[in-house]
Structure 1
Amino acid sequence: MNLTPVRIAVAGAALALAACAAQSPRTAKEAAPVLSQPRTTEHRGDDDLLSGGLGLAGLRAIAPPAFADAEHPTPAELRRRALWSNWRGIADLAPGGGYGELYGAIAPAPGREFSALATVAGARQPHRVLVQVPDNFDAAKRCVVVTASSGSRGIYGSIAVAGAWGLPKGCAVAYTDKGAGTDYFDLDAGQGMRADGTVGARGDDLAFEPATTSATGVAFKHAHSQDNPEADWGRHVKQAAQFALQSLDTAFPDAAPFTFDNTRVIAVGISNGGGAVLRAAELDGDWLDAVVAGEPNVFVEGARPLYDYTTQAALLMPCALLHLQNLPQPPLAAQSVPMWTQRCAALKAAGVIDGADTAAQARSAYEAMKSSGWTDQALRAGALSVGFDLWRAVAVTYASAYGRYGFDEMPCGNRYSALGTDFTPRPAMAAERAAWWSDASGIPPGAGVHIVEANPTAPLVTLQCLRDLWTGEGADAARVKQGVAETRAGLPREGLPVVVIHGTDDGLIPPAFSSAPYVRAAQTAGRDVRYWQVRNAQHFDAFLGLPDYGARYLPLLPYVYQALDRVSAHLDGHGALPADAVIETTPRGAGKALAPSNLAMP
């Protein structure tokens, strides 16, 4: 391939941008990250950057891309399957949901990937960084979109957010798993994940190796790195951006150096990734040009942190939901009501709630949640997290992460393992282990890994223990609270454009506990933060394929893409930044395809 015209264009752009930079130099105070295990791979033809060649039809397939050898998948097979898993975990790709029709696209994006392990100062374990450089990289604009995975997902956990928007526009896209991800470690076999996602033995340059050597079960980075990675989310994002500049130097040596002076950097993320880019916004230096944060898990002074409202929901929400009518389905009432009724009775017996019968007990639990800031909209949408046991999953992982516990010292007697047909712990099988990197979400249960409780026949004991780590006293509670305090966010840099988007019906990260207090604090301090509140949007676009959820709720991704469009245009000198807005949407209803009128795009 003849790169001469490209090199000439890049060099010319570099000179022009350097001239602009000379007028207003930008600063970046942190040193470049220390990297290990760098890899470069090419992705063209039937293995592109955005979908691994699957396209929209392949991503919609019910079954994941198969491995030729289930126990020994190749790096290419793992990558394609990880893309399939992460697209489906974030976006609503169902027919009629609007993706690829009203918003978004999954056109082939050929190019190269640069990946490595990076470590923030003081951390025990590295985080993954990856940069996708499309062949249509726009040399005249030098654009980098930097992002962090949502939830605890692996390195492709923001492909549907940042990759889908940035790659078609000729931007390089930089990712970090922000110290979480799917680098699981099998303590029974002494095996974990290599940089390419394949399985290797302890000492074989793995992406995560726990300090524990004598325990049995499955360890993973978010819960067991002993780093409290959430405290460093902002630094993870910045190191991904720095790695992007280094990767561009390698990709286009004749146009080097790529620097924060001459390269536009926009940060975007949703959920935990949204919290991560807001944490990046507060770092010293004017290295960022703009930030777009969707449904962010962010904690500011005076707000409720995730661990507080998660443990309350894990304990009380199953009972409280019996007080509400017209809950979305699933969970199915026939299966849920008996279990939720038992929870009410157990809470009453433990003295947590009042009430002589189930109705009164449900009202007591409901009023406790309402008095602490939960809205009816958040409670209804939160039924999904109850049905999928997500509250307990988050509480168990985050208690370990915040307290910096090792695998064999996790609070409340919890640990993780594969389970046999009798629900007792067993060693993982080779085929299960081989698929963890591509299939797992970063927080069990899932991908064949389960939570093992010390009191499996008395689940309320575990939930109360986890709750007491926030509401109680003692060494373990102090340890967890200290970890939570380390995650408190500061204000974004003065003059940095920030757009926050949140669904008013979010039942996992209610805006009253996250976005609203963050925006209020930032705007009060005079920071340039804009806030879109989207009616009838909850937390999980991916679950809108469920008929009742699709009928009731709207996707948030189109608003994230729109905010990125508006911010990018503003940086180009075309139009003002988005104004604050409460966006009055219209649900599409049962059996109907999403239409532009439903979104009411501002």
Structure 2
Amino acid sequence: MPAGAGDCYGSGHSPYRKVAHVRENPHQILPAPRARLLSAVAALALAVAIAGCASQAARDAATETVMFEHQRSSTHRDGDDLLSAGLGIDGLRQMLPPAFADAEDPTAAELRRRALWSNWRGIADLGPGGGYGELYGSVDAVPGREFSAYATVPGAKHPHRVLLQLPDDFDAGRRCVVVTASSGSRGIYGSIAVAGAWGLPRGCAVAYTDKGAGSDYFDLDAGIGFGRDGRAVAKDTASDLAFVPDASEAATGVAFKHAHSQDNPEADWGHHVKQAAEFALQALGEALPAQAPFTFDNTRVIAVGISNGGGAVLRAAELEGDWLDAVVAGEPNVHVEGQGGRTLYDYTTEAALLMPCALLDIDSLPQPPLLTQVTPLYAARCASLAAEGLLSGADTAAQAREAHDALRDAGWSDEALRAGALSAGFDLWRAVAATYASAYGRYGVGEGPCGFSFAAQGTDFLPRPATAAERAAWWPDASGIPPGSGVGLVDAGMAPPDLTLKGLQCLRGLWTGEGADADRVRAGIAATRAAPPRAGLPVVVVHGLDDGLIPVAFSSAPYVAHARAAGRDVRYWQVRNVQHFDGFLALPDYGARYLPLLPYVYEALDRVDAHLDGAALPADAVIDTTPRGAAALEASHLAMPR
């Protein structure tokens, strides 16, 4: 994405924002036709400004003219709110999701409430004794308004969702926007527990992007997708569907944006974040016209995300222009060349093949998985790998040791392998690999390599059409990558005795092998490589040393080394006894062994915010924590650096 025009506007405001903030009704942002008209006016003004510009580029000049379509606004007060839709900590802790009055036709308000419930529970440890809302974090009600739209990265086939949450107590005297990207492949509320929980109680507006993934599934059997308010709508009767795949009328099953958009969204993660920030400034100008204009010059912008969202904000950090004030990246999925860096696809396919066998050689695995249930499956994997000539041990124990040694030689720590047991037990590696192979290769519906597809499944795991009730819940409940919410991964190559081996070998071959498909996937992966952050930009990276999904040795550590080699001052917190999923700390054994990552992300945000007011940046730290065991979490367990 190129930088914008030079400093030719006096106050440094882009002509787009100058025009866009003026309107009669402050409670709604511009409808799409008017937005398009203003975008055209802005483009003309921008061209004139460039022609007469001779001075250096200003900060706002890095802002691009972006068209936001299918815009929508809503108010959330009086028993509803921005953080939890009125559920509060007690409602979020309920084991069952908020019910729909009509399971086949939920309202937009019901869908939003359920999406917030689902995303909070998927990201944060809300269990009693876990400390959330008491020792750290907040779900206190924050009334306000939401503004949403679709934005499209230049060259992309499909839009991504952007959303701004504007609290009623927005601090106009210290205007602040926290911009974030969803973790994993989650929908638009996928970072509510990360950015919303920190920013909204402080009077900041919070801007979100689903970064080209999300839960906008498409039912190929019924021709039904999801509109801007999250409701299921037939393709033939709606113009605002978030995702309509390029597929034949005969296609069956389920398509979803991450796998089937043909956009390789990961390559544009940084641009998604920047467009969300752009949308925030426009929406603020619309909603608060007396305080407009809102610009990158007069509004503090801090980016934060975890996991894939952490990778996204680091990719945003490398974009040209002084539009971003600080970045906090937690457990980021980020890839750099050299310094020991490895791509997610490389170590995911490696783990999918070897880890089930290797885990049989590792003591004291967290539970689940229950060893009595998985040992026969894991032993079968050892035997399969030996039969393929990939292992040479004479028995299961020797084969497991060999697989274990191979992973350690590849850079896996035993701490990462122990925590990764959950991903192996849930078959997460295979689902991630199949999805990312399709995304990296820009494959469409029915084109993906290795015979994988996705469909609703019954108890027999055979593909079938989805019911209306199942489909209605996809948007709020789905994590963006099946299996889940009734949608499963269909593997055409499944065969005994090791049912998934053939498909996994095919997926691994797309990284290690030869051929057109392998070249296509590797080209897509190369497009996701990160660069150092912009010089002078404060960046703090926070990562758990026990992370078994995105090990620090392959991601954060190489990124920090790469950035420092380029002369960038990136600060790095490494936290002992922290794995990847705070949401899994509700499992007793995980809660006893591991600590949450979110307190350290919030603390890092506090530190960079203070730094922007003149304080020093936090120093590097290896944080020696203490697992809480059966006790309630206390500050002493966290050992927060001071």
Name the TM-score, length of structure 1 as normaliser. Answer: 0.95
Which of these residues, 32, 44, 49, is aligned with residue 65 of structure 2?
32
In the superposition, relative to structure 1, how do residues 142 and 463 fare at CA in structure 2: closer, same or farther (>3 Å)? Answer: same
In structure 1, the residue matched to 2:542 is 501
Tell me if 1:531 matches 2:567: no
Distance in 1 (alpha carbons) for counterparts of 2:66 and 2:387 = 53
In structure 1, the residue matched to 2:156 is 123
Distance in 1 (alpha carbons) for counterparts of 2:57 and 2:263 = 37
Offset of 1:423 from its aligned partner? 2.1
Which of these residues, 161, 176, 180, is aligned with residue 147 of structure 1?
180
Offset of 1:421 from its aligned partner? 3.1
Q: Which amino acid aligns with 1:329?
A: Q
State whether residues 32 and 239 of structure 1, in contact with CA within 8 Å, keep that contact through their aligned partners in structure 2: no
Distance in 2 (alpha carbons) for counterparts of 1:191 and 1:198 = 10
Distance in 2 (alpha carbons) for counterparts of 1:218 and 1:338 = 32
Which of these residues, 77, 100, 104, is aligned with residue 44 of structure 1?
77
In structure 1, the residue matched to 2:530 is 489
In structure 2, the residue matched to 1:18 is none
Structure 1: stretches of 5+ with no match in the other structure = 1-6, 8-21
Tell me if 1:207 matches 2:245: no
State whether residues 136 and 170 of structure 1, in contact with CA within 8 Å, keep that contact through their aligned partners in structure 2: yes
Tell me if 1:223 matches 2:251: no
Which of these residues, 287, 307, 312, is aligned with residue 271 of structure 1?
307
In the superposition, relative to structure 1, how do residues 171 and 359 fare at CA in structure 2: closer, same or farther (>3 Å)? Answer: same
Distance in 2 (alpha carbons) for counterparts of 1:268 and 1:379 = 27
State whether residues 323 and 359 of structure 1, in contact with CA within 8 Å, keep that contact through their aligned partners in structure 2: yes
Q: Which amino acid aligns with 2:274?
A: K
Which of these residues, 608, 620, 623, is aligned with residue 583 of structure 1?
623
Q: Which amino acid aligns with 1:171?
A: C
In structure 1, the residue matched to 2:443 is 405
Distance in 1 (alpha carbons) for counterparts of 2:78 and 2:568 = 45
In structure 2, the residue matched to 1:446 is 484
Which of these residues, 622, 632, 640, is aligned with residue 593 of structure 1?
632
Deviations 1:522-563 (A, max 9, x none): 112211210000011000000011111111110000000000
In structure 2, the residue matched to 1:387 is 425
Distance in 1 (alpha carbons) for counterparts of 2:460 and 2:588 = 33
In structure 1, the residue matched to 2:273 is 237
> Secondary structure in 1 aligned to 2:174?
coil
State whether residues 28 and 284 of structure 1, in contact with CA within 8 Å, keep that contact through their aligned partners in structure 2: no
Tell me if 1:325 matches 2:325: no
Q: Which amino acid aligns with 1:520?
A: A
Tell me if 1:301 matches 2:342: no
Which of these residues, 468, 475, 491, is aligned with residue 430 of structure 1?
468
Distance in 2 (alpha carbons) for counterparts of 1:592 and 1:421 = 39
Deviations 1:113-137 (A, max 9, x none): 0000000000000000000000000
> Secondary structure in 2 aligned to 1:501?
strand
State whether residues 530 and 578 of structure 1, in contact with CA within 8 Å, keep that contact through their aligned partners in structure 2: yes
In structure 2, the residue matched to 1:421 is 459
Distance in 1 (alpha carbons) for counterparts of 2:244 and 2:324 = 33
Q: Which amino acid aligns with 2:303?
A: A
State whether residues 28 and 260 of structure 1, in contact with CA within 8 Å, keep that contact through their aligned partners in structure 2: no
In structure 1, the residue matched to 2:397 is 359
Deviations 1:309-353 (A, max 9, x none): 000001110000011101010000110111100110011111111
> Secondary structure in 1 aligned to 2:502?
helix
Distance in 2 (alpha carbons) for counterparts of 1:155 and 1:98 = 26
> Secondary structure in 1 aligned to 2:567?
coil
Offset of 1:256 from its aligned partner? 1.2
Distance in 2 (alpha carbons) for counterparts of 1:423 and 1:451 = 9
Offset of 1:422 from its aligned partner? 2.5
1:35-114 pair list within 5 angstroms: 35-114=68-147
Which of these residues, 190, 207, 220, is aligned with residue 174 of structure 1?
207
Question: 4+ residue stretches of structure 1 with deviation over 3 A?
Answer: 22-25
Which of these residues, 478, 492, 510, is aligned with residue 519 of structure 2?
478
Offset of 1:407 from its aligned partner? 1.3
Deviations 1:46-67 (A, max 9, x none): 1100000000000000010000
Deviations 1:114-166 (A, max 9, x none): 00000000000000000000000000011000000000000000000000000
Q: Which amino acid aligns with 1:206?
A: L
> Secondary structure in 2 aligned to 1:209?
coil
Distance in 2 (alpha carbons) for counterparts of 1:157 and 1:98 = 21
Distance in 1 (alpha carbons) for counterparts of 2:354 and 2:624 = 31
Distance in 2 (alpha carbons) for counterparts of 1:469 and 1:362 = 25
Q: RMSD of aligned C-alpha atoms?
A: 1.3
Paired residues, number = 580
The sequence identity of aligned pairs, in percent, is 74
> Secondary structure in 2 aligned to 1:34?
coil
In structure 2, the residue matched to 1:369 is 407
State whether residues 62 and 322 of structure 2, in contact with CA within 8 Å, keep that contact through their aligned partners in structure 1: no
Distance in 2 (alpha carbons) for counterparts of 1:269 and 1:452 = 31
In structure 2, the residue matched to 1:10 is none
Distance in 2 (alpha carbons) for counterparts of 1:361 and 1:146 = 47
